[in-house]
Chains A and B, each alone.
Chain A
């Protein structure tokens, strides 16, 4: 089972806090990969908060191709954090080239675009580069979005952190998602490493999604740019959240109703019975199955955790005003935020959505039995 760790903080934190927490939970993952999502960035990344950041891995030739593509599209490099490791990679980690996080100034023509149009452009640019890269294997992109940096690599989290120098101050972030991967039924492929990202939404999951194939078929048939990849069965959780957030315009707490709807008996009692029955009916193909704990972050910086319908995976949230963490295990939480009141830790159950708003003041809990916030 993979181990998940996520932190949200009012002040930027080093991603090493999360990496250490993963290390504490080490017996739960086999070190076959690590993935990081960083947002609420500081330092040079915060200077142009509206400019998109491209994260990925490039060979030398890939970098040249990237430059050609991006300048062709009219993007200007504003700031670049390029890590080309000096020493040998840890055993099992291939030598890949440059790990890049680069801030781009969008083309001049974007000034006239609406926010929504820009977002669509960002997604399709990322998809285009990814597809280009897949042809030759020289470019890999994980995200292209303002205020988001993503890093993925195969190997043990601590060793990778050391190898890539993840303790550098430029990477300090307010919101961090980190996953230590337990490779299961799919081949180790960087695109299979969590977290997954699309249009400002990132999620990571542990467990196995047994309904993967029909859900994948369904999402692919939506013909939405970016609904691709699926090297991991968990990628669909990100896309379902994307679909529910952007296409259905549902609030965060409705996500649970999409992926694990209430039974008919539970619905009978519910104040939002009509709407929820509707959601259950029309979103049936997106019902997930299997043991899954999903932790993610929304475009507005809200961090959340939900469990599968039976709560078959561990997951805990705790912290103190200013810093909260979501963790697969309590030991991870202890390592990251020792100075909290552990009696206020909460393990969300099968009906709960637990979330922390970007102001980081408190954990909010919402049960599926509760009324949904008013819709507009």
Chain B
């Protein structure tokens, strides 16, 4: 309670806040580090008034009140400064004297974080820990006839193809006729999902790029990373490392002036071009880089003035319809690199995915389809979009795969699945399940941030302030005071750790299923779930 309480509709008590600060007066050294580090100024140094009853031993003097003060920490209750549970205060406290505590029942804040008519925006995720993918089990263990495969000893071909695959007859005819064939890349099935330079800090980006280069050149793992919409640093565009990069173009076309001008100087073709039509975290909404994060460097790369918010329109404004947009953009992007680079669209999970897919099937230049499910992450979006818009990835992907299979095209348009893969930490399991449901490529962003840079976001609305440039870990901030907390070398190291352990886990899943010669795309007979409705919907086995 404030010293001079003015009770307004939005006056809250700490009880109304989902995160409460426990502060221990006994051990606090009053160093002030916590208040300095707090990214949202949820706590402040405070002088507290204190009354002590002074009763002397004896009867003569009456006990009296003594008013003194003590110094300590106060949690602010203004909705704009509500604690976000990043626990940075605890991280910097020398004595563990302070920590946030979740108070599950507090909901009042939700009704008040729209001051000035501004609906809540934030970064992060859908904040729903439930995961259908986590419930899927791998049930087809080869027991009877197989010598079990040994994940540690046997050769495993964990590679996938990105690019339009011609039907076998056509593909071989084109070879003999020396005709043009669509470009195809053999890559590692886990791709780092599109997180833009701008959404991510320079240190985070550099760390990821270094890690990717190391994985490719030292570990022989053809890992690829998508830029997101925000262009690409000029030096990277002109380096040999560009071949590990998937360039994204989206409705704001940010950074594409720079990219187009760099084409004549490119030493290598990029791995692919992703055209973003939608994003799982905020379907039907364009990208958003809020002004806090548009510093000089970002502005230069994106070709915009600094300090202004950069919303991308929800659709590609220069086109009438998505069919036209897809066809024309795939065509022009392909043309820009002489039809040597695979170009594919990325859409958010939606019931209309099949329509897009059928369109792509008829377009010989379409190199794949990326679908981003509702659990996808973002650097900035409206809370309502993030929480309630979009389609779960599992059935959307499955429907697309089965549609292709019905037409005999399941080999031709690789499906890429993303959105909440590994949201509870089960990255390899979720990825393998999606592969067996029909995905050729898995895209992951949030897991990579959490695992390589220690992003604090969780599925219970923790942190999630990626949009305002105050990322306490320096992952999604453009403020050098914050991002210098993140050492790019360490990010790179963590990325390598993540990929190597992912690789081992994937083998540990595939070996007992007897699969090693090729990625088990569409091996739905290996999957089971203890929910008959889901089993029926996904056409997998119901097991109890």
Contacts and interface: CB of A to CB of B under 8 A. Distances in A.
Q: Is the A/B pair a real complex? A: yes
A283 B516 contact: no
B145 interface: yes
Interface string A184-205: 1100000000000000000000
Interface stretch (B127-135, B153-161, B392-400): B153-161
A158 to B, nearest CB: 23
B161 A281 contact: yes
A248 B167 CA distance: 11
Instruction: Give chain B's interface residue range (CB within 8 Å of chain A).
Output: 35 or more
B57 interface: no
B520 A214 contact: yes
A275 interface: yes
Nearest to B438: A214
Interface centre among B146, B170, B515, B518 (most CB of A within 10 A): B518
Query: Per DSSP, are chain A's interface residues mostly helix, strand or loop, or mixed?
Result: loop
A316 to B, nearest CB: 18
A208 B411 contact: no
B525 interface: yes
A249 to B, nearest CB: 8
A222 B168 CA distance: 11
Interface stretch (A62-70, A147-155, A162-170, A285-293): A285-293
Interface stretch (A17-25, A83-91, A305-313, A351-359): A305-313
Interface centre among B142, B157, B409 (most CB of A within 10 A): B157
A120 interface: no
Contacts of A310: 149, 154-155, 516-517
A174 B269 CA distance: 57
Contacts of B520: 210-211, 214, 289
B514 A278 contact: no
Contacts of B159: 264
Nearest to A206: B145
A346 interface: no
Query: Per DSSP, are chain B's interface residues mostly helix, strand or loop, or mixed?
Result: loop
A17 to B, nearest CB: 27
Contacts of A309: 155, 516-517
Nearest to B144: A184
Contact of A290 (B155, B167, B514): B514
Contacts of B409: 221
A282 B410 CA distance: 11
A375 B516 CA distance: 30
A308 B523 CA distance: 19
B171 interface: yes
A10 interface: no
Contacts of A291: 145-147, 514
B216 to A, nearest CB: 13
A213 interface: yes
A1 interface: yes
Contact of B407 (A221, A250, A279, A288): A221
Interface string A264-307: 10000000001100110111111111110000000000000000
A217 interface: yes
B250 to A, nearest CB: 29
Given A211-B523, A221-B410, A247 B168 contact: yes
A243 B172 CA distance: 13
B265 interface: no
A135 interface: no
A285 B155 CA distance: 19
A309 B154 CA distance: 11
A264 B513 contact: no
A15 interface: no
B142 A213 contact: no
Contacts of A255: none
A210 B142 contact: yes
Contacts of B172: 248, 250, 278-279, 282
A28 to B, nearest CB: 11
Given A218-B408, A264-B159, A185 B144 contact: yes
Instruction: Give chain A's interface residue range (CB within 8 Å of chain B).
Output: 35 or more
A222 B518 CA distance: 20
Given A184-B145, A208-B146, A312-B146, A281 B408 contact: no
Nearest to A281: B184
Interface in B11-37: none
B515 A282 contact: no
Contacts of A281: 161, 165, 171, 184
B525 A222 contact: no
B359 to A, nearest CB: 19
Interface in B91-150: 140, 142, 144-147, 149
Contact of A218 (B411, B515, B516): B411
B533 interface: no
A263 interface: yes
A278 B518 contact: no
B218 interface: no
A260 interface: yes
Given A211-B523, A247-B169, A290 B146 contact: yes
B176 to A, nearest CB: 7
B170 to A, nearest CB: 8
B276 to A, nearest CB: 26
B70 interface: no
Contacts of B147: 291, 312
B405 A217 contact: yes
B383 interface: no
A217 B175 contact: no
A291 B513 CA distance: 12
A212 B525 CA distance: 9
Contacts of A247: 168-169
Contacts of A264: 159, 186
Contacts of B406: 221
Contact of A263 (B157, B513, B524): B157
A232 to B, nearest CB: 12
Interface in A17-54: none
B376 interface: no
A222 B408 contact: yes
Interface centre among A184, A211, A264, A289 (most CB of B within 10 A): A289
B67 to A, nearest CB: 79
A254 B375 CA distance: 44
Contacts of B516: 289, 309-310
Nearest to A263: B157
Contacts of A279: 172
B522 interface: yes
B521 interface: yes
A285 B145 contact: no
Contacts of A218: 405, 408, 410-411
A223 B170 CA distance: 16
List of 10 A-B pairs having minimum Cβ-Cβ separation, nearest first: A221-B408, A282-B171, A210-B514, A214-B522, A287-B518, A285-B411, A213-B525, A208-B145, A282-B168, A289-B517
Given A208-B144, A221-B410, 14 more contacts: A184-B144, A184-B145, A208-B146, A210-B523, A214-B523, A274-B175, A279-B172, A281-B161, A282-B167, A284-B165, A284-B518, A288-B517, A289-B514, A291-B145
26 contacts: A1-B145, A184-B145, A207-B145, A208-B146, A208-B514, A210-B523, A217-B405, A217-B410, A217-B522, A221-B406, A221-B407, A247-B168, A248-B172, A279-B172, A281-B171, A281-B184, A282-B166, A282-B168, A282-B171, A284-B518, A287-B517, A289-B520, A291-B146, A309-B516, A310-B149, A310-B155
Interface of B: 140, 142, 144-147, 149, 154-155, 157, 159, 161, 165-172, 175-176, 181, 184, 186, 405-411, 513-518, 520-525
